[in-house]
């Protein structure tokens, strides 16, 4: 199945799954996997920021299908919501192994590394996501911040540059925001959203 996209609410996902099950011609094909159902319910919990409930549902999904990309992704999102970026990275890396060019997975990984101040690891994730979709909300800010940070450390002896660092970040972020239309990601506390994809679907739901 495809992944949930920018403006689609999680409850629409559940409706879509039920409709698909009822309208598919083949009785075998109409059967949703247990993992799909758990992930669909977990996305609703994520929307409501009920992180523990989401994680419980996602654990059940991964018990059924350990390589379910959507379950891995949303587990990472839920751990970010619980302010546990180390655990988030563990699951997001597994999701990235299955879907290496997914914009949302890259963005979430960037956020997790950024939260740990692992800027050398977050920067390539943000840059790859930005190259694929520069309109993702807030992504331009992180890219600009890390570029400015690299310049700052590259010129540590230039005290004036250090003083101008905050203004540089604000200016670069403003330019990015003004020159590209913002794409608001689905509401998720810890971060972002599923936006890009490259054929996830091994048992994946719209999510």
Residue by residue, pLDDT tens for the chain (207 residues) are: 334 334 344 555 555 555 544 444 444 444 678 999 999 999 999 999 999 999 999 999 999 999 999 999 999 999 999 999 999 999 999 999 999 999 999 999 999 999 998 988 988 898 898 888 888 877 877 877 777 666 665 554 555 445 555 555 555 555 555 544 444 344 343 445 455 554 444 444 444
Give the span between the Cα atoms of 143 and 126, in whole angstroms.
Answer: 6
Q: Give the span between the Cα atoms of 66 and 203, in whole angstroms.
A: 10
Bridge partners for 136 per DSSP: 183
State how far the alpha carbon of 100 is from the alpha carbons of 133, 141, 150, 154, in Å. Answer: 15, 23, 25, 30
Interior angle at CA 158, CA 152 and CA 162, nearest 5: 45
- Selection from 140, 139, 84 nearest residue 116 by Cα: 84
Whole-structure pTM value: 0.66
């Amino acid at each position: 199945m495809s992944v949930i996209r920018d403006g689609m609410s999680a409850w629409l996902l559940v409706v879509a799954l039920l409709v698909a099950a009822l309208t598919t011609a083949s009785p075998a094909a109409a059967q949703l996997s247990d993992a799909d159902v758990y992930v669909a319910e977990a996305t609703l919990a994520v929307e409501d920021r009920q992180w523990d409930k989401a994680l419980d549902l996602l654990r059940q999904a991964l018990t059924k299908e350990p390589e379910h990309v959507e379950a891995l992704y949303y587990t990472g999102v839920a751990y970010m919501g619980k302010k546990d970026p180390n655990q988030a990275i563990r699951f997001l890396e597994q999701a990235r192994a299955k879907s290496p060019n997914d914009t949302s997975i890259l963005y979430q990984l960037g956020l997790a590394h950024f939260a740990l101040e692992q800027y050398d690891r977050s920067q390539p994730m943000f840059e790859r996501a930005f190259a694929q979709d520069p309109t993702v909300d807030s992504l331009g800010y992180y890219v600009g911040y890390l570029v400015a940070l690299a310049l700052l450390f590259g010129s540590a002896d230039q005290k004036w540059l250090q003083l101008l660092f905050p203004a540089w970040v604000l200016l670069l972020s403003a330019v990015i925001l003004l020159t590209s239309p913002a794409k608001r990601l689905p509401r998720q506390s810890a971060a972002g959203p599923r936006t890009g994809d490259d054929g996830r679907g091994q048992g994946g739901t719209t999510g």
